[in-house]
Structure 1
Amino acid sequence: MKTPVKYFVSVAVILTVGCLSSSVNQHRDVAFWHAQHSPKSILLNYYGFIADFNAQLNNLPDPHLYQLALNQVVDAQFAWALRLLNNEEADAAMPFWRASVDQQGIEQRRQLSASLFRFERWEDLEYLNEQQLLPAGDVAEHLKLHRSASPRRIEQGFANDEGFLLDFSQLQAMPQCQYNVLMMTDHRLGLRQLNALSQRYRQHPQPRAASFCFSKPIYLGNTIDCQQQPDAAARCNWHPFIADKTWPAGFDFIVMMTATGFGNVQGGIMHLNSTSHYGLFLHELMHFNGFEDEYVLPAAKQAWLCDQRGLVAPNLFIANGVAPPKGWTLSASCQRGSKAYKPSADWSIMQYQILPLSEQYQQLWLQKINEPHYQPVRFADYFQQMEPAMDFINKMTNKNIAE
């Protein structure tokens, strides 16, 4: 409870301001001291020295700043919200900054948006954007990426700083690499994940150095339609891209990272989702060079693959009336038709993607890409099969493409 003595001190501090202008600084200091030592008097002292208190809101202890915020002191509401955000209390901060943000300057709003971005508070950032209170800059650009906005709406300078591309115009294949790969995504998290995957690959390239070179991630945003079914294989509709895009010369494969869906390879195009781990990426990369899964294949694939004969993949032999290579063991790939065999009795990365690439499978991979006349199925082949009349920059021989 406030004692009469404390109350009269507070009143005296305020009244003295009008009578002794030469003592303003002294009385202001007394007000600050009194406010710091008596939280309940903070309002009385604040209204005596509003400008001075506003200039030092960030120096007030939590109880004092909270009292001002509760009493709808606008700058205190905003300062209290930022303090809560710094303490990782984003939910508690929201009502305070929403009540005060429209009266803040651009630098204060920039500080708020940076804090909200740090916690990935996309709905809050969307609110600021809708109220036209989100400053232009990196956070606003990240929000566009989060919404999968069109590449045309993304600032080029921001894309340069973040290390991704908005189109194919400056892409060039690396002639020293055996295969060049276009890395693409339709969403923000995909950009980061693609960079992480390619960076890890460069640290330990397989099956040898310069086997694969990866482009910077290319952001497609809402210009491509990708299915959003987490329990199904990742898929995108490439038909509009076949005629509308000028594809760069010298690229062999595409890695497309979607938000959801199981990883798979079809016709020189790898689909991954943005939570895919590196083992799966390497597993799918081996599919580019014809490796088959060593777990049970889909029934539709078994219907044609498991009735073949001999070596159908670097790691799969179909014993349709012929003996498998020496040392090869049964594979779970074929549950119908002829039996399938794999090179090793041990589990491999083609059966469980969490396993590392073994020396044996690395050598099989290397042997495959070193075959003199070996030509893998490239994305251009796949597109040509979908649209035979399409004019590619890099014409390639049409092949039979099987999923």
Structure 2
Amino acid sequence: MKTLVKYLISVAVVLSVGCLPSSVEQHRNIAFWHAQHNPHSIVVNYYRFADEFNAQLNSLSDPTLYLLALNAVTDAQFAWALRLLNNDQPRAAQPFWRVSVAQQSEQKRRQLSAQLLRLERWCDLESLKEQQRLPASDAAEHLKLKRRVAPQFIEQGFANDEGFLLAFSQLQATSQCQFNVLMMTDHRQGISQLNAFTQRYQQQPQPRTASFCFSKPIYLGNTIDCQQQPGLAAKCDWQPFITQQRWPTGFDFIVMMTATGSGNVQGGIMHLNSASHYGLFLHELMHFNGFEDEYVLPIAKQAWLCEQRGFVAPNLFIANGVPAPAGWTLSDSCQTGSKAYKPSADWSIMQYQRLPLSAQYQQLWRKKISEPDYQPVRFIDYFRQMEPAMDFIDKMPNKNIAE
């Protein structure tokens, strides 16, 4: 009852103000004053000074703006939606911007899409796109990445700003490092994760400075087929892909980041998913230089590896009839009768990836890549086995850098 009385009093005041010999500006100021101090008067005041109120919607209090939105004032509905999004309430905001977005300028729709991107409301961005209400913007480009569209449909300026590449032609290896690595991904999250790994590696290069140089992430989108089964090893179908590209020279390894799948290395190619932690990345990087896992190896691998004798990796020795190196201890790698030995009794990063790289294993790593005749398995070796007629821009140079 008190609320109704206040509302009627406000209406009476506003109407009486209209009869006073005052300027329009005075009337408007009084209207704003009443709207701020008595939100229930907002509807009457709004329709007397609609343009002025629309220009100052962002300065209205929450109760005042909310009442205008409830009374189907289009600009107020949109402004209220933006305010809710800014307060991380996307579900509450959705009905308000959906009924008002068609009447908004491109600039305001760009503000909406930026908030939806911040909150990763991909379905809402898709809805805007389907209604042709999504303006050209970073949000529109991020949505393309989310949908894994082909690289040719991504704006070059956006890729530059976000720190990734769209073509191999934009790549150039550096002679400053012993190994150059192509960083690739087929999806949006992989771009930021690869950049994060590179940045962290540069803060503490392993096993020494100038061992590895990493390219900017190369976005492949749907031009490569990668399996999407979380419980299996991450992998991509390189067979058709390798004949469709002119591969850049001077690169030794590939890191391919998929959306799902467990990490692994095969033939100079590392596959891992974008939820992987940095320790796994470093673990797989050591596989590039011949290190073996110190947990139980797959049966198929044990069948041939564990039948060998002597050093099969910098960190693994198979003792078939020969004594193990002094100080080395049993490893879990081989379970088929042969005994495998590792350098330390402690767990290492090759047994449990979340452990830091120890000084002992760092030294083993440095020693391995410093061997004068050392030649790792590079991705081109693997590709040449798959497709002899590959199109390389030039022959891969042989690089060895002494410590």
TM-score by length of structure 2 reads 0.94
Change over 3 Å in CA distance of 1:303–1:7 after alignment to 2: same
Counterpart amino acid of 2:11?
S
Q: Deviations over 1:106-159 (max 9, x none)?
A: 111111111111111111111111111111021111111111111000011111
Shift, 1:13, TM fit: 2.4
Within 5 A, what are the aligned runs for 1:97-108?
97-108=97-108
**What SS class does the counterpart of residue 210 from structure 2 fall into?**
coil
Match of 1:401 in 2: none
Counterpart amino acid of 1:55?
A
Q: Does 1:77 align with 2:74?
A: no
**What SS class does the counterpart of residue 34 from structure 1 fall into?**
helix
Determine if contact 2:243/2:390 at 8 Å carries over to the other structure. yes
Match of 1:166 in 2: 166
Determine if contact 1:10/1:31 at 8 Å carries over to the other structure. no
Determine if contact 1:302/1:337 at 8 Å carries over to the other structure. no
Match of 1:308 in 2: 308
Within 5 A, what are the aligned runs for 1:24-173?
24-173=24-173
Counterpart amino acid of 1:265?
V
Change over 3 Å in CA distance of 1:251–1:396 after alignment to 2: closer
Q: Deviations over 1:57-102 (max 9, x none)?
A: 1111111111111111111111111111111111111111111111
Match of 1:321 in 2: 321
- Range that drifts further, 162-171 or 19-28: 19-28
Cα distance in 2 for partners of 1:180, 1:7 equals 77
Match of 2:401 in 1: none
**What SS class does the counterpart of residue 344 from structure 1 fall into?**
coil
Match of 2:217 in 1: 217
Q: Deviations over 1:38-70 (max 9, x none)?
A: 222221222222112212211111111111111
Determine if contact 1:182/1:251 at 8 Å carries over to the other structure. yes
Q: Does 1:195 align with 2:195?
A: yes
Determine if contact 2:327/2:343 at 8 Å carries over to the other structure. yes
Determine if contact 1:254/1:269 at 8 Å carries over to the other structure. yes
Cα distance in 1 for partners of 2:356, 2:154 equals 38
Change over 3 Å in CA distance of 1:98–1:332 after alignment to 2: same
Match of 1:378 in 2: 378
- Structure 1: tracts of 5 or more residues without a match: 398-403
Match of 1:400 in 2: none
Q: Deviations over 1:284-310 (max 9, x none)?
A: 000001000000011111111111111
Task: Give aligned pairs, total.
Answer: 396
Match of 2:11 in 1: 10
Determine if contact 1:255/1:271 at 8 Å carries over to the other structure. yes
**What SS class does the counterpart of residue 164 from structure 2 fall into?**
coil
- Range that drifts further, 44-53 or 291-300: 44-53
Shift, 1:179, TM fit: 0.7
Match of 1:334 in 2: 334
Cα distance in 2 for partners of 1:146, 1:6 equals 50
Match of 2:285 in 1: 285
**What SS class does the counterpart of residue 168 from structure 2 fall into?**
coil
Determine if contact 1:14/1:48 at 8 Å carries over to the other structure. no
Q: Deviations over 1:368-395 (max 9, x none)?
A: 1111111110000000111123243454
Match of 1:267 in 2: 267
TM-score by length of structure 1 reads 0.94
Q: Does 1:366 align with 2:366?
A: yes
Counterpart amino acid of 1:161?
D
Shift, 1:4, TM fit: 5.7
Determine if contact 1:234/1:258 at 8 Å carries over to the other structure. yes
Change over 3 Å in CA distance of 1:68–1:16 after alignment to 2: same
Cα distance in 1 for partners of 2:210, 2:10 equals 79
Determine if contact 1:329/1:341 at 8 Å carries over to the other structure. yes
**What SS class does the counterpart of residue 256 from structure 2 fall into?**
strand
Determine if contact 2:318/2:338 at 8 Å carries over to the other structure. yes
Determine if contact 2:324/2:341 at 8 Å carries over to the other structure. yes
Determine if contact 2:314/2:368 at 8 Å carries over to the other structure. yes
Change over 3 Å in CA distance of 1:334–1:9 after alignment to 2: closer
- Range that drifts further, 243-252 or 381-390: 381-390
Determine if contact 2:250/2:396 at 8 Å carries over to the other structure. no
Cα distance in 1 for partners of 2:382, 2:28 equals 77
**What SS class does the counterpart of residue 100 from structure 2 fall into?**
helix
Q: Does 1:392 align with 2:387?
A: no
Counterpart amino acid of 1:253?
F
Counterpart amino acid of 1:155?
E
Q: Deviations over 1:18-40 (max 9, x none)?
A: x6786322222222222222222
Determine if contact 1:14/1:45 at 8 Å carries over to the other structure. no
- Range that drifts further, 78-87 or 44-53: 44-53
**What SS class does the counterpart of residue 169 from structure 1 fall into?**
helix
Shift, 1:282, TM fit: 0.7
Q: Deviations over 1:325-347 (max 9, x none)?
A: 11111000011141111011111
Shift, 1:5, TM fit: 7.7
Cα distance in 1 for partners of 2:385, 2:6 equals 91
Cα distance in 1 for partners of 2:375, 2:116 equals 50
Cα distance in 2 for partners of 1:332, 1:191 equals 35
Ranges of 4+ aligned residues in structure 1 off by more than 6 Å: none
